[in-house]
């Protein structure tokens, strides 16, 4: 029904049947129809393996400066990690990426070991929640099994594995599990992003040093560390206006490390 | 009217062989109950040729055949086998009727009627249809006899005759390898009915005990003898029950059309010989049950959307479980994986003595892809994934997040994923020209974390909690939310603060006026 509804205006815009422009054969007619419908047919709808391979190999966050530093966004079909201290802007960045991906009409999943996903925040960022699958795992085992199952299901473009629990210790996921998840992500071209606290970070949330390692170990293609630079209040009356943060590129397999981009996470982006 | 009857004389035997196909070719008897006084109610051909007969007790059977396999008649298996007959019938015609369980010498008989009117248009002839019906039953492990006649009773009589007479004769001619195969199908034209039925014994009509004794006393042996006598005089002497018998033989009974059964609930079960307490052994049990359930579903072109499992435990308890299968599914592997995941996630409290799985069959859905949507999982694969996630994490913890029109803090809904059409249609609504900016995002704490807050001049100045502790550098608020004041149970009144802590965290703190508690609802991140 949806398709038919869209096709109708195209037919009205076609030239009159009589005259030299009338398609001679069915294949010509189909060709003409495809040209008319071109912008409406999604690139991925009937993509062949070759076309899929040529598709952009990254998922942009929609933040131009950050995307430029990342070479276009988060690498598709790879394991990446966004880590940092509480209030460093990890979740805001994840929601940007989520919103951007969902806006393309793609499907995403949020495996929520931390049980911290806030639908209101996601909706405020512009995410189309109908395309988001939220899995509220209760344990590391449930989160890992859910993640593996989703990675085996072709069609989810982006999967977040949120491990950044506020009160309980960091999830102890073994290196071999990350290796398995990374391989599964590569096999189905799904972008898997782990959200985490940096190991041993609870004592000094504002800074990190080289001894603090990402939870994904060396398995992530990209590790982005978010650093808090404080909150900004305006007023009176005093109102929380923004979180000032920066994103440090701790690792990128194909880009130079160490780049740091300042981000301002505002209450009202307009 | 033409009606086909598929009749299985030893239904308990075939029910057992369906569940334990490894017993095929072995001397097997089914007894009416446990213990040595139980009688044999059904037996395999191998047991028959070794000298075992129906009605013998178990010691008598063992005396003639020491290595005989013995199984106690299982009502669960028999019910499933009986319903399978209906499924077979419904795979040919929408009108079918399961025959109620008989009594007396035909207690182990199972039969189903199928509407065979005009069936030759599909199968070429009634004879071809009868052969196909017989073959399909045999493929499912049920050896039966098929007769087609002009009424239910005639069809059943003929099928019963095939089963009792010709089949036994064939068994007894076991040494004669040149003997022809027994006749398993018979088509009875209306004009041949009386001629065919006349020499048959009256016992085939299964008269009640009183009538049977009277008929024996009168020396009536065959249906011909019965039909020769005047009806009225017989009825005067033996009662109106005899009139019914005669009407059935003559095909004079009122023949109502077969109904279309609406029952779509399928059930398979098994009582275990010994309790099972490990998953591997249980997987084998599940495999058999699911395999038979899927066979029946495919017969009726139905799919399973919910598996209901009942486990009978060693401690006497019963555990009932429901496993959602998002879309109609006939895939044995998928159902098995779901069952296994369910047991792994919620192990039973004791060893298992019996298992029953059931499902409501629903028509299979066709997959309809969309040219105007981006690449996504196929509906069937997505449904299987959702079902497995539901088993892993719980159905209530997997879905699409939704907002609630409610001012109470932390309210949301979790709807089944993929049931509603997405709001946007994809790339057409995606505007690259407007750069995005990150927006303040809350990480919820579920449940909210209790906090000890020191307040000076109405403002929080320090905080102790599991999430954060230290001085409050900046606080914004309070922002009061109240509602439902007319109800004591749902009334809420909360003051919210956005605070920046000395350790760098920015929190949403709230004070509940009803409980007088300070709580941290979430962190800005």
pLDDT in tens, A114-169: 899 999 999 988 888 989 999 999 999 999 999 999 999 888 999 999 998 876 66
Smallest CA–CA separation between B523 and chain A, in Å? 7
To which residue do tokens 């995403």 refer? A108
Question: Is residue B456's pLDDT more than 80?
Answer: yes
CA dihedral (B390, B393, B399, B405) positive or negative: positive
Encode pLDDT of B125-159 as tens digits.
999 999 999 999 998 888 889 999 988 888 988 99
Q: Is A205 on the interface with B (CB under 8 A)?
A: yes
Give the separation between CA B307 and CA B331, rounded to whole angstroms.
Answer: 13
CB-nearest to A155 from B375, B420, B422 is B375
Calculate mean pLDDT across residues B165-181. Answer: 61
Calculate mean pLDDT across residues A53-74. Answer: 82
Q: Rg of chain B over CA atoms, in angstroms? A: 35
State the pLDDT at residue A222.
92
Write out B412-440 in H/E/C secondary structure: CEEECCCCCCCCCCCHHHCCCCCCCCCEC
State the pLDDT at residue A224.
93
The answer to whether the Cβ–Cβ distance between B438 and A164 falls below 8 Å is: no
The answer to whether the Cβ–Cβ distance between B438 and A265 falls below 8 Å is: yes
State the pLDDT at residue A147.
95
State the pLDDT at residue B148.
94
Question: Is residue B278's pLDDT more than 60?
Answer: yes
Question: To the nearest whole percent, how much of chain B has pLDDT over 90?
Answer: 33
Secondary structure of residue A183 in the 3-state scheme = helix
Q: Which chain A residues are within 8 Å of B426, Cβ to Cβ?
A: 42, 104-105
* Cis preceding-peptide flag for B366 (omega within 30 of 0): no
Q: Which chain B residues are within 8 Å of A158, Cβ to Cβ?
A: none
Q: Which of B337, B416, B438, B520 to mutate to test the interface with A (most CBs of A within 10 A)?
A: B438
Closest chain B residue by Cα to residue A41: B372
Q: Is B260 on the interface with A (CB under 8 A)?
A: no
Q: Is A97 on the interface with B (CB under 8 A)?
A: no
pLDDT bracket for residue B3 (50, 70, 90): very high
Q: Which chain B residues are within 8 Å of A39, Cβ to Cβ?
A: 428
State the pLDDT at residue A45.
46
State the pLDDT at residue B38.
87
Smallest CA–CA separation between B402 and chain A, in Å? 7
pLDDT bracket for residue A255 (50, 70, 90): confident
State the pLDDT at residue B376.
74
Q: Is A83 on the interface with B (CB under 8 A)?
A: no
State the pLDDT at residue B169.
65
Give the separation between CA A239 and CA B205, rounded to whole angstroms.
Answer: 92
Any alpha helices (H) in B65-222, and if so which ranges?
Answer: 75-90, 120-123, 126-139, 152-161, 167-172, 193-197, 209-217
Q: Is A88 on the interface with B (CB under 8 A)?
A: yes
Q: Which chain A residues are within 8 Å of B422, Cβ to Cβ?
A: 105, 128, 130-131
Closest chain A residue by Cα to residue B450: A167
The residue count for chain A:
270
The answer to whether the Cβ–Cβ distance between B427 and A243 falls below 8 Å is: no
Q: Is A116 on the interface with B (CB under 8 A)?
A: yes
From residue B284, give the alpha-carbon distance in Å to each of A82, A129, A165, B262, B384.
44, 41, 40, 32, 21
Q: Which of A110, A130, A268 to mutate to test the interface with B (most CBs of B within 10 A)?
A: A130
Supply the pTM of this predicted model: 0.66
Do residues B130 and B148 touch, judged by C-beta distance below 8 A? yes
State the pLDDT at residue B170.
62
Q: Which of B430, B439, B448, B522 to mutate to test the interface with A (most CBs of A within 10 A)?
A: B439
Determine the straight-line distance between the first and last CA of chain B, rounded to whole angstroms.
Answer: 76
Encode pLDDT of B481-517 as tens digits.
998 888 888 888 999 999 999 988 999 999 999 899 9
Q: Is A36 on the interface with B (CB under 8 A)?
A: no
Do residues A131 and A102 touch, judged by C-beta distance below 8 A? yes
Secondary structure of residue B178 in the 3-state scheme = coil
Q: Greater confidence, B179 or B403?
A: B403
The answer to whether the Cβ–Cβ distance between A166 and B438 falls below 8 Å is: no
Q: Which chain B residues are within 8 Å of A263, Cβ to Cβ?
A: 438
Q: Is A164 on the interface with B (CB under 8 A)?
A: yes
Among A224, A109, A215, A129, smallest CA distance to A164 is for A215
Question: Is residue B352's pLDDT more than 80?
Answer: yes
Calculate mean pLDDT across residues B32-37. Answer: 84
The answer to whether the Cβ–Cβ distance between B389 and A149 falls below 8 Å is: yes
Q: Greater confidence, A22 or A162?
A: A162
State the pLDDT at residue A55.
52
pLDDT bracket for residue B86 (50, 70, 90): very high
- Min mean pLDDT across A14-18, A21-25, B100-104, B188-192 is at A14-18
Q: Is A137 on the interface with B (CB under 8 A)?
A: yes
Question: Is residue B183's pLDDT more than 60?
Answer: yes
Calculate mean pLDDT across residues B13-40. Answer: 89
Encode pLDDT of B186-229 as tens digits.
998 888 888 888 888 888 888 777 788 888 888 888 888 888 88
- The edge-to-edge listing of strands for the beta sheet with B185-187 is B96-98, B110-115, B3-8, B145-149, B185-187
Question: Is residue B110's pLDDT more than 50?
Answer: yes
Q: Which chain B residues are within 8 Å of A44, Cβ to Cβ?
A: 374-375
State the pLDDT at residue B444.
93
State the pLDDT at residue B204.
82
Q: Is A106 on the interface with B (CB under 8 A)?
A: yes
Encode pLDDT of B48-82 as tens digits.
888 888 888 989 999 998 999 999 988 899 999 99
Calculate mean pLDDT across residues B445-473. Answer: 91
Q: Which chain A residues are within 8 Å of B425, Cβ to Cβ?
A: 2, 105
Do residues B13 and B55 touch, judged by C-beta distance below 8 A? no
Please state, rounded to an integer, the average pLDDT across all residues of chain B.
Answer: 85
Q: Look up the ipTM and state it.
A: 0.77
pLDDT bracket for residue A5 (50, 70, 90): very low
State the pLDDT at residue A211.
56
Do residues B453 and B463 touch, judged by C-beta distance below 8 A? yes
Q: Which chain A residues are within 8 Å of B503, Cβ to Cβ?
A: 205-206
- Which residues, other chains included, contact B160 with Cβ-Cβ below 8 Å and sequence gap of 6+? B7, B9, B106, B109, B204
From residue B92, give the alpha-carbon distance in Å to each of A87, A99, B119.
66, 52, 9
Encode pLDDT of B391-445 as tens digits.
889 888 999 999 988 888 788 999 988 765 554 544 445 555 566 778 899 999 9
Size of interface A-B (CB pairs under 8 A): 257
Q: Greater confidence, A198 or B420?
A: A198
Question: Is residue B335's pLDDT more than 80?
Answer: yes
Q: Is B441 on the interface with A (CB under 8 A)?
A: yes
Secondary structure of residue B357 in the 3-state scheme = strand
Question: Is residue B289's pLDDT more than 60?
Answer: yes
- Min mean pLDDT across A39-48, B189-198, B336-345, B407-416 is at A39-48
């Amino acid at each position: 029904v949806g398709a038919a509804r869209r096709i109708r205006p195209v037919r009205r815009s076609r030239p009159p049947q009589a005259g030299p422009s009338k398609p001679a054969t069915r294949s010509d007619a189909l060709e003409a129809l495809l040209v008319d419908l071109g912008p409406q047919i999604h690139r991925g709808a009937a993509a062949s393996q070759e076309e899929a391979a040529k598709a952009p190999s990254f998922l942009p966050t929609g933040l131009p400066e950050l995307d430029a530093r990342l070479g276009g966004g988060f690498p598709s079909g790879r394991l990446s990690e966004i880590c940092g201290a509480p209030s460093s802007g990890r979740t805001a960045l994840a929601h940007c990426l989520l919103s951007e991906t969902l806006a393309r009409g793609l499907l995403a999943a949020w495996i929520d070991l931390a049980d911290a996903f806030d639908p209101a925040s996601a909706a405020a960022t512009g995410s189309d929640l109908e395309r988001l699958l939220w899995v509220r795992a209760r344990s590391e085992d449930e989160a890992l099994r859910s993640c593996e199952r989703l990675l085996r299901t072709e069609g989810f473009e982006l999967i977040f594995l949120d491990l950044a629990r506020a009160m309980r210790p960091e999830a102890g996921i073994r290196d071999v599990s990350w290796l398995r998840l990374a391989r599964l992500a590569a096999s189905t071209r799904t972008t898997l992003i782990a959200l985490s606290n940096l190991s041993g970070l609870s004592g000094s949330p504002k800074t990190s040093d080289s001894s603090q390692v990402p939870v994904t170990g060396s398995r992530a293609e990209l590790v982005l560390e978010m650093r808090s630079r404080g909150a900004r209040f305006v007023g009176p009356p005093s109102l929380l206006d923004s979180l000032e943060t920066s994103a440090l590129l701790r690792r990128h397999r194909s880009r130079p490390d160490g780049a740091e981009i300042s981000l301002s996470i505002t209450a009202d982006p307009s | 009217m033409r009606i086909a009857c598929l009749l299985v004389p030893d239904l308990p035997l075939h029910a057992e062989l369906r569940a334990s196909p490894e017993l095929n070719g072995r001397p097997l008897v089914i007894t009416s109950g446990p213990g040595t006084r139980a009688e044999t109610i059904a037996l395999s051909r191998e047991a028959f040729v070794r000298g075992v007969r129906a009605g013998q007790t178990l010691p008598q059977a063992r005396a003639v055949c020491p290595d005989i396999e013995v199984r106690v008649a299982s009502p669960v298996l028999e019910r499933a086998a009986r319903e399978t007959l209906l499924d077979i019938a419904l795979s040919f015609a929408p009108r079918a009727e399961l025959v109620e369980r008989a009594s007396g010498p035909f207690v182990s008989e199972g039969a189903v009627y199928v509407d065979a009117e005009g069936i030759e248009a599909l199968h070429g002839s009634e004879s071809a249809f009868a052969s196909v019906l017989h073959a399909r039953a045999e493929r499912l492990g049920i050896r039966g006899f098929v007769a087609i006649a002009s009424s239910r009773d005639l069809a059943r009589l003929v099928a019963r005759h095939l089963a009792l007479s010709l089949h036994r004769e064939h068994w007894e001619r076991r040494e004669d390898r040149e003997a022809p195969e027994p006749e398993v199908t018979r088509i009875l034209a209306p004009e041949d009915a009386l001629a065919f039925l006349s020499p048959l014994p009256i016992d085939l009509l299964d008269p009640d005990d009183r009538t049977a004794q009277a008929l024996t006393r009168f020396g009536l042996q065959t249906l011909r003898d019965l039909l020769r006598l005047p009806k009225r005089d017989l009825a005067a002497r033996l009662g109106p029950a005899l009139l019914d018998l005669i009407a059935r033989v003559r095909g004079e009974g009122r023949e109502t059309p077969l109904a279309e059964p609406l029952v779509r609930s399928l059930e398979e079960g098994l009582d275990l010989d010994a309790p099972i307490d490990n998953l591997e052994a249980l997987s084998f049990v599940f495999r058999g049950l699911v395999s038979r359930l899927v066979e029946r579903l495919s017969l009726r072109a139905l799919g399973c959307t919910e598996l209901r499992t009942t486990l009978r435990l060693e401690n006497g308890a019963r555990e009932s479980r429901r496993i959602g299968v998002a879309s109609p599914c006939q895939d044995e592997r998928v159902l098995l994986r779901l069952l296994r995941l369910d047991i792994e996630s919620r192990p039973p409290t004791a060893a298992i003595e019996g298992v029953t799985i059931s499902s409501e069959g629903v028509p299979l859905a066709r997959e309809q892809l969309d040219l105007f949507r981006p690449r996504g999982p196929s509906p069937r694969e997505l449904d299987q994934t959702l079902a497995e996630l539901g088993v892993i994490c719980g159905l209530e913890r997997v879905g699409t997040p939704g907002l609630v029109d409610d001012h109470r803090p932390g309210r949301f809904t979790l709807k089944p994923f993929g049931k509603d059409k997405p709001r946007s249609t994809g790339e057409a609504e995606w505007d690259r020209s407007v750069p995005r900016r990150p927006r303040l995002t809350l990480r919820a704490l579920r449940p909210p974390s209790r906090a000890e807050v020191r307040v000076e001049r109405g403002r929080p100045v320090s905080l102790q909690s599991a999430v954060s502790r230290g001085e409050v550098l900046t606080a914004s608020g309070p922002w009061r939310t109240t509602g439902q004041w007319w109800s004591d149970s749902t009334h809420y009144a909360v003051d919210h603060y956005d605070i920046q802590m000395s350790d760098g965290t920015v929190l949403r703190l709230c004070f509940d006026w009803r409980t007088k508690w300070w709580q941290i609802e979430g962190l800005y991140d």
